Structure 1
Amino acid sequence: MDPVVSAEIIGFIQRGLRSEEHDITTSDTPARPRSTARTIARRGSSGSGPARTDGRTGVSTVGEMLRGITVREALSLPVLDGFEVVAGAAGLDRMIRFVNIMEVPDVLPWTRADELLLTTGYPLRSDPGAMTTLVAALHERGLAAFAVKPGRYLQELPPAMIAEADRLGFPLLLVPDGVGFDVILNQVLSEVLGRQASALSRAAAAHQALLEIVLHGGGLPEVLQALPDQLGDAADGVGVIHVDRSGRVTAAAGAELPPAADVLFDDDAQFRTAGYPHGSHTLTGGVRALVASVVAAEDHGDLIAIRTAGEWDGQDVITLERAATVAALVVARELAVAAVETKYRGDFLRDVLSGRESETAARSGAEGFGWDLTGPLVVVVAGAANEDDQHRRRRAAQLAAAWTSRVRRMDPAAASATFAMEAVAVLHAPDGTVPDVERMAELRTGLAVPGLPFDGVLGVSRVVAGVAGLATAYAQAWEAVRVGRRLAGPGSVARFDDLGLYRLLSLVPDSAELRSFLVDTLGPLAHPEGDVENDELRRTLQVLLDTNLNVAQTARRLHFHYNTLRYRIGKLERLIGPFTDDARLRADLTVALHVWQMRVAHN
């Protein structure tokens, strides 16, 4: 790997580790890594919040998922050995991550979730009944437990307080004599911080392993392959996938996703980014998903970890978020390399299509890109619509992302490249025939992405024998794009062989003389679509000319009664002249209808 790239990766990750550790150990509300926060702001969603109605819960920060110790585990510490659980035993599995001492009656604003609150009862010595109300308030704020040291200021706990704690499942503890609050603070916080430091250390080791993979040339599949073992045991059924910014899966490792994970994807197999933002989510059947945004200079999608057994803890969150940092840099590196390769491919193919490369040089260079330019060949051009700069940039990215994979799926040895506003492919035509419209429509469909349908035109050339004919074929494909855009509009497929008279008409400028010819020849039928009677008459005229004035065949094709068609023919001759008897007028009408189709119908 390039040493500059290696140094950049190491520096970026180390800065992230330092800032992450600082946030977790010193901040009241741990901050999300800045890149993740930027992603969530961009997507307009939040990774935290109350439980949702569909059963999913979001967990947004590393600090929120860093395990402390449960009340039950705390009671096993030597300093808490003599503590008595007088009420709320159902809540002994609540998590303790902080310890605080109640010194004032209005302590609530200074409390937080997952906190063990200690008191002597002094602040409420004159109003023991307020203790009952306080228990409910502490439970509402998510505290872990309330420990009271009776004696000097509070002789015994009010029965109503004990009953309320039992009802809420909120642990109410009695602190024995001889145990100082400072010792309790020291030992409980030491245990909490020790566990958190251990989790950070293990996550850092896992992160270093991922870094080693990258420094030895590994890509996104290799990074994902290492994650399931870091996130759980074999029995946990951990699987990890990466989805790109469009929500499509690009890599996967570990266990197969369970059926419960189907809810993460829409009907087009794209990840529901807005519904499952950065954080932890509980799915049906106890399946749990963990989502981490993959962001470097721009959004590169998400890492999604799924487990069928057990729960995610703080170490898992840190591991996946740091893996997302590594993945972002890997994707950015791969995109940079791909951009250079794409430029070389594009420059080379442009030279071939412009005739600047000899046949020998063209074939030799094509082999280096895995292409085969042995004929017969056909050139396909996807020409995007004329758009402003912002849409042009999005369209270029769209073409680059979708074109090559679609072309390779259709013809593995085909040459392909994307330019600013076009994508080109040189496909093989082994039977010497131009690919049918249906096959080309499949290629066009692959250029659409959510929120950005492909509204350009796919142009297809005639079949040429080999490299020597590619310049001509390229010009034919572009002519098909230009004519198809006027003739059939956005999203169409136009084959050069099917253009016929339209090829000649495309060379005629849209002048006043051309407009005059239309009006003189078609009369009121020269107006754009919208008038029902004129539209029906124009269609009748077109079918009559297509069937060489065969009235019976025209009536069947239009589902008209024979006499109805005779009436329409009479009306047409009153409007545009005796075309049934005048061959030259019929020729003019044929040309005029072609001009109307190109210049009026879709404008």
Structure 2
Amino acid sequence: MKIPGVTVQELMAIPELKEAKVLSGEQGMNRFVRFIDIMEVPDLKGWIREGVLLMTTAYSIRHEPEVLCQIIQLLHQGGAAALAIKPTRFLTEIPRSALEASNACGLPVIEIPAEIPYTDITQRVMDMVLNRQAELLRRSEGIYRTLTTMVLENSGIQAVSDNIAELLKAPVALIDNGGQAIVTSPQGWDWKKAQDSRHFPINVDKRTVAKLVIARNELDDMEQVGIEQARLVMALELMREKAVEDTESRLRGNFIDELMTPPVPLRHEVERRGRQLGFNPAYDWEVAVLESAAAPPEETLSGLLNLESARRRVVSHIEFRSNRAVLFLPTLHSNDHQDGDGTEEERSWAETLKSWTSEKALGKGDYYIGIGSTRKLWELLQSYNEARRAITVSQRLYPDQRVCTYGDIEMHYMLGEAMDTEEFSNVFERKLGKLQQYDRSHGSDLLKTLFYYLENRGSLIDTANYLFIHRNSVKYRLERIRDMTDFDLNDPREQFICHTCLIHYYLREHK
């Protein structure tokens, strides 16, 4: 914050300057005087301070009065308050070019009578500046005590914001780094529509975590002091809230670890701790797992989940572990919906996650999402394991299907587990061993073509679309398969055996 000062207008009202005259630059009378200095040499570059009142007798430029024009320009560029000059002793008159330059930039040029000592002016000006600083300090301490008391009494950040708005007589808002309003005063104020506003960063741990928006463009010294204190207090409040959130997050993480690791705590213990940590045990829960080659987009994924949870009026949770995100998704029972007539059925979480991928809301990435079946809170381990299984089967059988529920692949998984025997491997070898050897020798995809032909219920077009090849290519490959195996692919029994063998191959051979 700048050092408080007095305006040139206030300065001209003191008794010591009652005979002084403002020669030019009257539009700059509201400039603040914070320091006072005397010019001995005309070389001012590098040492002009903002808010300085420069006094001179013009002795150093008595032979070159035109230099005064350059001095005025330098003072204006350095943010000086005014130029006070005693011209009668060493200058016959102030050059017109200097007065024009003063009027052009709005830097006041003041003529001081020769008989007024510099010490009378400097002492009076510094007394005024120091008194103003002392008054601002007292009021600053008062504002700080008021705001910190509100924080210590846990009045909440909304109360702090309301107090600041009252102090400044203007709407204020605290905005997070994502552009969302944390609080506004008055509540509901649309800060984005404010035309004349100023933004001030709120820093915690040397990081900007939010910004304070004030619907005012011009602020006096007292208001600047209030804003500085408000920034500090809001940083303390955000730090306190962050400490609470970190503690809750750690406790939730520990709770989730216990739910995901056998043996799971007893039901009554899960219900008790779930209520404390935002896991409502009255809801049904699904676990969705997102796995990717790199770390998932935490901010994007959390933002999407928060918006969808608010729309559903539930509290969801998400945990990030290395290259995996685990989503805990609650579902309200039909009788829990209080609004509407209940005729519109809420779409499932699986449909929501599929919409995120189809709309590319998660961005580009090599990720798979598995969704477990609906369970009670104390049964989340089963849903988590099912989600992981859904990803495993999807990666091996349907690599282009990015979102997969356990219900979609439950039978495939059960078959894969049941077929993990030497006898079934022998069946595969008898039925499809020739095709496997041919693919390995020729780098072809006969097995894959047969699998997706059966998956698409014998549709040449759907199979071709899935494999990104022409329909005639599918037809040619099927003819090769018939020639090598003598399969009748129109026989339902033959289809079942081949389909089952291929599921065994893709689930177990690449395990």
Question: Structure 1 length as normaliser, TM-score?
Answer: 0.66
Secondary structure in 2 matching 1:110: coil
1:343 CA displacement:
3.1
1:418 to 2:319 alignment: yes
Counterparts in 2 of 1:479 and 1:548: CA distance versus 1, 3 Å? closer
The match for 2:337 is none
1:438 to 2:347 alignment: no
Q: Is the 8 A contact 2:24 2:102 kept in 1?
A: yes
- The 10-residue stretch of structure 1 (69-78 or 567-576) with the greater mean CA deviation from structure 2: 567-576
1:84 CA displacement:
0.9
Q: Write out per-residue CA displacement over residues 59-110 of structure 1, whole angstroms, 9 at most, x where no aligned residue.
A: xxx11xx542222222122222211112222332333222111112323433
Q: Structure 2: how far apart are the matches of 1:481 and 1:501? A: 14
The match for 1:38 is none
Q: Is the 8 A contact 1:355 1:468 kept in 2?
A: no
Q: Write out per-residue CA displacement over residues 285-337 of structure 1, whole angstroms, 9 at most, x where no aligned residue.
A: xx121312221x353512322215x6123333333333222222322222222
1:135 to 2:72 alignment: yes
The match for 1:72 is 9
Q: Structure 2: how far apart are the matches of 1:525 and 1:385? A: 29
Q: Structure 2: how far apart are the matches of 1:123 and 1:117? A: 14
1:463 to 2:374 alignment: yes
Secondary structure in 1 matching 2:265: coil
1:179 to 2:116 alignment: yes
For 1:305, the aligned partner's letter is V
Counterparts in 2 of 1:570 and 1:105: CA distance versus 1, 3 Å? closer
Q: Structure 1: how far apart are the matches of 2:264 and 2:213? A: 51
Larger-Rg structure = 2
Q: Structure 1: how far apart are the matches of 2:133 and 2:451? A: 80
Q: Is the 8 A contact 2:50 2:80 kept in 1?
A: yes
The match for 2:237 is 330
Residue in structure 2 matching 1:292, options 201, 224, 228 = 201
Q: Is the 8 A contact 1:241 1:253 kept in 2?
A: no
1:427 to 2:330 alignment: yes
Counterparts in 2 of 1:181 and 1:211: CA distance versus 1, 3 Å? same
Q: Write out per-residue CA displacement over residues 355-406 of structure 1, whole angstroms, 9 at most, x where no aligned residue.
A: 533333433443444544347x34313345465xxx59x95x887x659846
Q: Structure 2: how far apart are the matches of 1:494 and 1:189? A: 76
1:345 to 2:252 alignment: yes
Question: Structure 2 length as normaliser, TM-score?
Answer: 0.76
Q: How big is the alpha-carbon RMSD for the aligned residues of Structure 1 and Structure 2?
A: 4.6
1:202 CA displacement:
1.9
Q: Structure 2: how far apart are the matches of 1:126 and 1:355? A: 96
1:499 to 2:398 alignment: no
Counterparts in 2 of 1:193 and 1:594: CA distance versus 1, 3 Å? farther
Residue in structure 2 matching 1:254, options 165, 186, 190 = 186
5 Å-filtered alignment, 1:207-246, equals: 207-230=144-167, 232-233=168-169, 237-243=170-176, 245-246=177-178
The match for 1:479 is 389
Q: Is the 8 A contact 1:113 1:142 kept in 2?
A: yes
Secondary structure in 2 matching 1:499: helix
1:488 CA displacement:
6.2
Q: Is the 8 A contact 1:292 1:320 kept in 2?
A: no
5 Å-filtered alignment, 1:41-190, equals: 62-63=1-2, 66-190=3-127
1:255 CA displacement:
6.7
For 2:248, the aligned partner's letter is E
The match for 1:55 is none
**Residue segments in structure 2 that go unaligned for 5+ positions in a row:** 335-344
1:567 CA displacement:
7.5
For 2:373, the aligned partner's letter is R
For 1:195, the aligned partner's letter is R
Q: Is the 8 A contact 1:69 1:191 kept in 2?
A: yes
The match for 1:380 is 287
Q: Write out per-residue CA displacement over residues 465-521 of structure 1, whole angstroms, 9 at most, x where no aligned residue.
A: x46754433321232244445666799432101124652587699xxx99x989953
Q: Write out per-residue CA displacement over residues 184-209 of structure 1, whole angstroms, 9 at most, x where no aligned residue.
A: 11222322332233233322211211
1:318 to 2:239 alignment: no
The match for 1:59 is none
The match for 1:357 is 265
**Higher RCO (CA-CA < 8 Å; seq separation 6+):** 1
Q: Structure 1: how far apart are the matches of 2:407 and 2:346? A: 10
Residue in structure 2 matching 1:192, options 129, 142, 145 = 129
Q: Is the 8 A contact 2:270 2:378 kept in 1?
A: no
- The 10-residue stretch of structure 1 (331-340 or 580-589) with the greater mean CA deviation from structure 2: 580-589
Q: Write out per-residue CA displacement over residues 529-559 of structure 1, whole angstroms, 9 at most, x where no aligned residue.
A: xx9xx78x9997566424544xxx6458869
1:173 CA displacement:
1.4
Counterparts in 2 of 1:446 and 1:506: CA distance versus 1, 3 Å? farther
Residue in structure 1 matching 2:209, options 285, 301, 316 = 301
For 1:129, the aligned partner's letter is E
Q: Structure 2: how far apart are the matches of 1:185 and 1:493? A: 77
How many residue pairs match? The answer is 483
